[in-house]
A and B are shown apart, each in its own frame.
Chain A
């Protein structure tokens, strides 16, 4: 009996979905718009996060050593820095590595290569690239480096330059802006989601309002609440499923379109250097598809189903 009831409710829900073509279309448009707003938020936050991580990664402190600094001293300093709690990563670039990296980069430029030969020897100092766990912590690391007396056995300072002061302004601004951006983003997202839910809820309510006489007749014929309400919930869920599929297609389209636009605007060569921009959205979409699918499909089903369930309640009191 439960199975029969379920079967009948589902069938009626499907039939009503088709027969009320225009209403179904209207509901699907509204729910698709709302889900697209969700999708837009997902993309915006993914893009924003990727941009922030990239900028954060680009910010670091470089410690340049004198050309005569012994490698052993540099490595022992590296160990000390690595032991600091604020430090995420320390990379040692030896003088030879710096030279070969330079050569690789400019190998096709005869003029520069010629200049390098004329200078003779290796003009590049060894360096340590230090990354902090949080941009706000570079100050402490810089203080540690300046306060520490770094000299070799002969008493000559081995550190030539710490470029913290140059990066200080951008680092400070970034530390101040990031939390604000995140808070504002979350607030806008919440408001948008709330508006979307209210609009969908009202649309579904109107659809069920047009069927209020039908509902009362069903009740007076002796149908139980589940028999009357069930088909509306099934139709509501179908609105959600169809809208979710449309939204996912739209999102996929937008992801690939936006990538090609960025590529064209930036020029492929430049964009290749900024790995952050290229393929951010499409890669994100493909990589997180199961989560995005569940989020969009789940929201669609919930929006359509729950709205219908609640909206029908009002007219069941016959």
Chain B
């Protein structure tokens, strides 16, 4: 479904984020990508949603090279991928409801669908009572759950979650992992990056280990080994 083909990324300051990385992800897989900070995990995610461009190599979603698309096709592709950002990236002057509704509006859902689905997805992440709050009124864990709700509400084919538990306490961390596993069981492909051993063990799926921009291990049902 997703295929990284000999991808390298060198930033303008000459730091090498990815060095000739190749791997594929099957539909409905739950892939955890682990590695130290700076190992290239976030860059991998950014390349998939074309937030950044590779220096060499290509990234494919099914048979489409994601970096060959025009603006309109790019927007369509992004609607197939739900992204949970490390720093949440909620829109500060929109309420929780509007933040989630916006993703649905952008992907062309009707008003009826929006008013039905948004409360439902907030219930799923246990935040129905904060629906009219603004992001700055929420705790870190709550914001992260809103970010997940936003990513899954459009029922995308793929969820990519970049260190979604990075700023959270253990209770919240496992809550997030539980939600992601549930989404995966419903048939969504999930790509998760983390450097938290507990998270890897809790997920228990395929683990790709990265170091200095290279894939050094790819275990079908791995453990966190570094």
Contact = CB atoms under 8 A, between A and B. Distances in A.
A222 B79 contact: yes
Nearest to B90: A217
B201 interface: no
B111 A221 contact: no
A9 to B, nearest CB: 9
B111 A222 contact: no
A187 to B, nearest CB: 43
A94 B163 CA distance: 102
B111 A213 contact: no
Secondary structure at the A interface, as helix, strand, loop or mixed, is helix
B185 interface: no
Contacts of A221: 78-79, 83, 102-103, 106, 150
Interface stretch (A139-147, A223-231, A256-264, A301-309): A223-231
B126 interface: no
B56 interface: no
A7 to B, nearest CB: 9
A83 interface: no
Interface string B17-57: 00000000000000000000000000000000101000000
Interface string B52-91: 0000000000000000000110011111110101000111
Size range of the interface on A? 20 to 34
A19 B135 CA distance: 14
Contacts of A19: 93
B170 interface: no
B198 interface: no
A308 to B, nearest CB: 16
B93 A20 contact: yes
B166 interface: no
A224 B106 contact: yes
Contact of B111 (A4, A16, A20, A223): A4
B105 interface: yes
Contact of B76 (A217, A218, A222, A225): A222
Contacts of B111: 4
10 contacts: A4-B110, A8-B105, A217-B89, A218-B91, A220-B83, A220-B85, A222-B103, A223-B106, A224-B75, A318-B51
Interface of B: 49, 51, 71-72, 75-81, 83, 85, 89-93, 98, 102-103, 105-108, 110-111, 150, 154
**When A and B form their complex, which 4 residue pairs have the shortest distance between CB atoms, in order from nearest?**
A222-B78, A222-B79, A223-B106, A217-B89
